[in-house]
Amino acid sequence: MQFALANSIGGKEAIAQSANPMLRQFQIELKAVSAPLDEAGGKWTVAGPVTTGGWTAVGYYFGKKLQQTLNAPVGLINASYGGTYIEAWTSADALATDPDLKAGMEKVQAEFEGYHGYEGKYKAWQEQYKREDHSAADASTFASPNASMADWKAVTLPGMFSKMGLPNSRAIWFRRTFTIPPEASNQAMSANHVIDLRLGEIHDSVKVYWNGHLIGQGGAETENQRYNIKANLVQEGTGVLAIRIFNAGGNGGGCLLFPKGSRFVAGGAYGGVELSGEWLAKPEYEFPPLDPEAQQNLPQRPPTPHFTAQNVASYLFNGMIHPLIPAAMTGVIWYQGEANNDHPRQYQTSFPLMISDWRAKWGRGDFPFYFCQLPGFTAPPDANAAESVKSSWGELREAQTKTLSLPNTGEAVLIDVGDPANIHPPNKVVPGERLARIALARVYGQNIVDSGPVFDSMSYEGNAIRIHFRHAEGGLVSHSIPSTYNKIPDDSSTSTPIPINSPGSDLQGFVICGSDGVWKWATAKIDGESVLVSADGISSPWHVRYAWAQNPICNLYNREGLPAEPFRTDNFAGTSDHLLYGAVTPTGAGAAPTPGASSAK
């Protein structure tokens, strides 16, 4: 939801044509805090070429559709933060009503707050023993592309400082020159594009420079050293990355740079460069060894917390939702879930809990809450149907769909607009407009179809299963397979033939199993408002699934051009039934359901 309009497909053209005094956005400041705030910063902006590039792309297309259709002013309150868990958006008192969520919240909060308490103790220790950081020379002496390298030492990273022959207690610089190909340069990218720089964990303070420009810094408490280099600083040819690390305690030998997989990543055709390898290093200054008293009193750095502030349970609710209560509003649109992929079954509890929590806090038990179901991501499934259905994303989508049991909720299915190479697919027109369809139909009384086909029931017909659908009036249709399926993950410039798992079938994406529970790719034929599903070698079929994979190849739609919702008729044990927020030991979760029963509609 935070994905900016400027970075979306067609964003440049949309921005140029966005002037509209009847459409406005309030952007609330990003804040993740331990106690509820009554106020939060932010400002209103009017839609126009100067402003909308940074707006939420989904929100922009949603608001634009409503404004044009209704010819009425529309205001958007944008409270979004990318890459976050749903538990962070839920109040502490609501999370405390569920034993597993309560245990996870308490564990994560204690770990995070214990770690950040270390920072104050460490700074007090530095002051007491006169080991505060200071500048021994201008940063350009070390960070400038033109700096002399005559007395720099070659080192191999990652590694321990003590093993590199470097002083443990000091300020020290690391530096490396990168070759920037044309496709990764400023001329080839939009101004909003950034190079993603992931440094991993660094013990103590860090400052990061690109071609002499300070692009970011972190303190002793910073647990995720990740920075962005804006495209306007990136030119074809060479670029110099310089990193200054300060350590006062004499334990710098424990500093680890660049865990496996850390990369200097521009994206697109430029896949990036591994950060491990040969660098140059030079101390700026060093401290004398610690005396026994200072060594004894040195605070011990706790383990790095597994969760950053924006993913600690209740912290985003406290900083970005609580200040909005009781702002007058019509309803909520929501697009989130990728982060919860590591415990998707629990989302069946946490998602409706959050919605109910917000409604209770506003004192309005049924305000509209419309959400996006996750699109596809990663490689499309191959010939092994049994492996393709082992899908945590399938289970997360199911949890989203089950949330429709709450009143006045709606789901925009996006299974046809994913991108194998991008967890944040840049097509934001479709999500925004499908959410707008739901709002226009259900809130504003427009006579439009707002849902694709939805599983209703199944019946057995010899060696086949007939699937009956709701929202299939006038018959079902098959569409061509979207071309996005032929991208290779992590390299969006490369295409491969689109895999077809069910040759000769009207429809792709259906699997079927017999009583042995072994899934096979199915032949699925449209028959009016139902689909007949079968497979060679299965004479007595048992269950069917549709679009149940990380990135399913599927093409079932209704006459209005809306995609069918992924579904399954079984209730077999999932891959994530035992996994919980905060990695807390399950309390009775994870028992395998008895295979065979059909799932509820």
Q: For residue 158, what pLDDT is reported?
A: 74
Domains, the chain, with CATH or none: 130-289 (2.60.120.260)
Q: For residue 218, what pLDDT is reported?
A: 84
559, two tokens:
């006459």
Tell me the CA end-to-end span of the chain in Å, nearest whole number. Answer: 29
Nearest-10 crossing angle of helices 429-442, 57-70: 40
- For residue 214, which of 243, 179, 175 has the smallest C-alpha distance? 243
Cα distance between residue 437 and residue 430, in whole Å: 10
Strands of 398-518, DSSP E: 409-412, 454-461, 464-470, 476-478, 487-488, 491-495, 510-513
| Cβ–Cβ under 8 Å, residues 564 and 452 | yes
| Cβ–Cβ under 8 Å, residues 14 and 60 | yes
Task: Specify the amino acid at residue 55.
Answer: W
Query: How far is the CA of 576 from the CAs of 398, 512, 571, in angstroms?
Result: 12, 21, 13
Cα distance between residue 484 and residue 375, in whole Å: 12
Cα distance between residue 411 and residue 247, in whole Å: 50
DSSP state of 320: I
| Cβ–Cβ under 8 Å, residues 465 and 533 | yes
Which residue in this structure is represented by tokens 């191959």?
382
Alpha-carbon Rg for the chain in angstroms: 27
Across the strands, what pairs with 549? Answer: none
25, two tokens:
């956005």
| Cβ–Cβ under 8 Å, residues 468 and 530 | yes
165, two tokens:
């022959």
372, two tokens:
């996006």
Mention every residue, 6+ apart, whose C-beta is less than 8 A from residue 62.
76, 333, 432, 433, 435, 436, 439
pTM > 0.75: yes
What residues of the chain score a pLDDT lower than 50? Answer: 187-192, 252-271, 585-601
575, two tokens:
């891959």
* Region of residue 189 (phi > 0: left; psi between -120 and 50: alpha; otherwise: beta): beta
Cα distance between residue 36 and residue 48, in whole Å: 33
The length of the chain in residues reads 601
Query: How far is the CA of 480 from the CAs of 113, 194, 251, 601, in angstroms?
Result: 51, 34, 60, 28
| Cβ–Cβ under 8 Å, residues 258 and 200 | yes
412, two tokens:
């925009």
Nearest-10 crossing angle of helices 347-362, 392-402: 30
Cα distance between residue 439 and residue 66, in whole Å: 8
Number of Cβ atoms within 10 Å of the Cβ of 503: 8
